[in-house]
Structure 1
Amino acid sequence: MSRHIKMFFNTNGFAYMIYASGTILLIGATVYSIAEGVNFIDSLWWAFVTSTTVGYDDISPESVVGRLTAMVLMLTGIGLFGALTSTITSFFMVSNDEEGEEYKEEIKELNDKISQLLMKIENMGRNA
């Protein structure tokens, strides 16, 4: 199970996207907290809600810096969810490709064995 989780996070560099998004989220929360005079916990809540594009409207930016920060967080959230979607798709496509290659190899081995058995049968018929 943990192997699949590691493979998932390594697909399309998704782990790096999460780290980058988390960093942007923390920076955005800090900037918003300073620019709007809001405590950091409320600012972190606002940054998370904004990045998910839910926007509960319980806290909204009034300053230009706060609004610019909101725009960056919205784009980050959209990018993160787009990356998640493509990572899920790529992960299952690669898994299916690997599985298909394993089956192709097994089929090739079985075909080789069948060919060897057919040659043995033909040789037995000639010698009889």
Structure 2
Amino acid sequence: MLARGRDLVLRLVLSLANNGRVLIWAILADYVVCAGAYALLEDKGPISAMWWAIVTGFTVGYGDLYPESTAGRGIGAFLIVTTWFLSLLAGAFITARAVIDADEFSHEEQEEIKASLRRIEERLGTLPPQ
């Protein structure tokens, strides 16, 4: 059971880390869901709740709005941790796309190299059994 949960979390993290659109939607959903929960738990309006979520998520913490209930504080803690994690993934995603390796082979070049190696192995008679 634990291994299945770990695999699910790993698949989720890899999906977020390798798909910019999914990552953006996850960040937006994090803010909207936490703002909605805050609005319900603390009896605040949607604009005030979204303001709280943005200020809390960016860890600015003006102090003008803050949760007074234990559940509201839990939502705030959750928002801070998830925003931190998603920000790390977003930074890594942007950095990975910004770094360009001039020596990197294209997909077509890699396939051509693999085919050439297969032909060489066939001629030498060293083709591994399949």
Instruction: Using structure 2 for the length normalisation, give the TM-score.
Output: 0.62
The alignment partner of 2:48 has SS state of helix
Counterpart of 1:63 in structure 2 is 69
Counterpart of 1:74 in structure 2 is 80
Counterpart of 1:12 in structure 2 is 18
Structure 1 gap segments, 5+ residues each = 1-9, 106-128
What pairs with 1:92-103 in structure 2 (closer than 5 Å)? 92-93=98-99, 96-97=100-101, 99-101=102-104
Residue 30 and residue 101 in structure 1: after superposition, are their counterparts in 2 closer, same or farther (change >3 A)?
A: closer
> CA shift at 1:46, angstroms?
0.3
Counterpart of 1:4 in structure 2 is none
**Number of residue pairs matched?**
91
Counterpart of 2:125 in structure 1 is none
What stretches of structure 1 move > 6 A for 4+ residues in a row? Answer: none
Counterpart of 1:21 in structure 2 is 27
Alpha-carbon distance in structure 1 between the residues aligned to 2:24 and 2:41 = 25
Alpha-carbon distance in structure 2 between the residues aligned to 1:14 and 1:101 = 22
> CA shift at 1:11, angstroms?
6.8
Alpha-carbon distance in structure 2 between the residues aligned to 1:19 and 1:65 = 25
Residue 79 and residue 14 in structure 1: after superposition, are their counterparts in 2 closer, same or farther (change >3 A)?
A: farther
Residue 20 of structure 2 aligns with an amino acid whose one-letter code is F
Which structure shows the bigger proportion of residues in helix conformation? 1
Q: State yes or no: 1:88 paired with 2:68.
A: no
The structure with the largest alpha-carbon Rg is 1
Q: Give the CA RMSD over aligned residues.
A: 2.0
Residue 60 and residue 11 in structure 1: after superposition, are their counterparts in 2 closer, same or farther (change >3 A)?
A: closer
Q: Percent identity?
A: 33
